[in-house]
Chains A and B, each alone.
Chain A
Amino acid sequence: MWQALKRFHHRLGSPKWFFDLSGRCLPYLMGAASLLILVGLIWGLAFAPTERVQGDSYRIMYIHVPAATIAQSAYLMLALAGIISLVWRIKMADWLARSIAPVGASFCLLAFVTGTLWGKPTWGVWFVQDARIVSVMVLFFLYLGVIALQSAADNPRQSANAGAVLAIVGLVNIPIIKYSVEWWSTVHQPASLSVGGKLSIASSMLFPLAISFVGFYALFLGLTLMRVRNCILSSEYRTRWVNLWLERQFSKN
């Protein structure tokens, strides 16, 4: 059992293994993502009941909640990749960090803007200086900062390190986002779902939300993997296995 774990841990750092595995998984991942997102969103848009107080604007939830959750989850992965990169100097961790950052930032932007669009008909204003809203904005700026630091062309090692440090420092923002609706009185709705707690959302809304959530998560993973594969190709192009893969690709076309 230890041997298997050690092998797995060793393989994780191997670009070829990661490239092969991601190549095989990606079509299924993206296929599942498309299907789940389509089903979840069509269900949520057309079939789920309307909300008693907010009316149909609540249907933004089916995008907003998955996007916001994934934006935070992605940031945790980004910070973890940063720690691994700083401590163990593993190339794969750098590539993962460089790939997660832009996709996570996209989801964060989506969450923020859909939140704004949802807030206007609900609260009457585009923006409120509310704890959760401001801390998600901070999350977006953290993402941009990490991307900027990672893109400094001069020294890839230094730029990777700088990005990793910012990602780790910014971790403090995540619990602030999560608990902001509990610690402070905010306009933002408190959680309808909690582990071991009561469910305050109707199941007719919960099912499409859960389906689109899984779909968006799969999409996030797929989009990230696409970018990681490019990092691998770009860095490992001198190796034999990349040459062989390229030759196979060219003979296919």
Chain B
Amino acid sequence: MAPHFHSWGDFFAMGGHAPYVWGSYLLMLMIIIWNLFVPVMRQKQLRRQLKRWLALTGSRKDGSS
């Protein structure tokens, strides 16, 4: 299967529709990165808080799950 475009210039130009196509792909990247960033940061925050809580209270032996 051969690439559809004959040059990199053509590829980036997207037949004149470059801002629409690349704008969409850029938005996709931003949304994905945001949705990775938020839970990763949240888990880091949780670990910090729980580490502090563990240090304060000592580990629980209540055996509950």
Question: Could you list which residues of chain A lie within 8 angstroms of chain B, going by C-beta atoms?
Answer: 16, 41, 45-50, 55-57, 59-60, 63-64, 67, 102-103, 106-107, 109-110, 113-114, 117-118, 120-121, 219, 223, 226-227, 229-230, 233-234, 237-243, 246-247, 249-250
Q: Can you give 14 A-B contacts (C-beta < 8 A)? A: A45-B11, A46-B5, A56-B21, A57-B17, A57-B20, A59-B14, A60-B24, A114-B27, A117-B21, A226-B40, A227-B39, A233-B50, A238-B64, A240-B60
State whether B47 touches A64 (Cβ < 8 A).
no
Alpha-carbon distance A21/B60, docked complex (angstroms): 24
State whether A110 touches B51 (Cβ < 8 A).
no
Chain A residues lying within 8 Å of B28, measured Cβ to Cβ, are 63, 67, 110, 114
Question: What's the least CB distance linking A215 to chain B, in Å?
Answer: 11
State whether B3 touches A243 (Cβ < 8 A).
no
State whether B63 touches A240 (Cβ < 8 A).
yes
For the complex with contacts A117-B23, A241-B65, 18 further pairs of A-B residues with Cβ separation under 8 Å are A46-B11, A47-B2, A48-B4, A55-B15, A57-B17, A59-B14, A60-B21, A63-B24, A106-B31, A226-B43, A229-B43, A230-B46, A233-B50, A237-B46, A239-B62, A239-B64, A240-B62, A249-B47
A110-B31 contact given A63-B24, A63-B25, A233-B50, CB 8 Å threshold: yes
State whether B20 touches A118 (Cβ < 8 A).
yes
Alpha-carbon distance A114/B24, docked complex (angstroms): 5
A246-B36 contact given A59-B14, A60-B24, A241-B65, CB 8 Å threshold: no
Alpha-carbon distance A107/B27, docked complex (angstroms): 11
Alpha-carbon distance A20/B51, docked complex (angstroms): 20
Alpha-carbon distance A237/B65, docked complex (angstroms): 10
State whether A56 touches B15 (Cβ < 8 A).
yes
Question: Could you list which residues of chain B lie within 8 angstroms of chain A, going by C-beta atoms?
Answer: 1-5, 11, 14-17, 20-21, 23-25, 27-28, 31-32, 34-36, 38-40, 42-43, 46-47, 50-51, 53-54, 59-65
Q: Which 5 A-B pairs have the closest CB atoms?
A: A56-B15, A57-B17, A226-B39, A56-B14, A114-B24
A46: contacting residue among B4, B23, B25, CB under 8 A: B4
Name A238's closest neighbour in chain B (CB-CB). B60
Question: What's the least CB distance linking A50 to chain B, in Å?
Answer: 6
Alpha-carbon distance A230/B64, docked complex (angstroms): 19
A230-B42 contact given A117-B23, A120-B20, CB 8 Å threshold: yes
State whether A57 touches B62 (Cβ < 8 A).
no
State whether B60 touches A55 (Cβ < 8 A).
no
State whether B35 touches A106 (Cβ < 8 A).
yes
Chain B residues lying within 8 Å of A219, measured Cβ to Cβ, are 32
Question: What's the least CB distance linking A144 to chain B, in Å?
Answer: 15
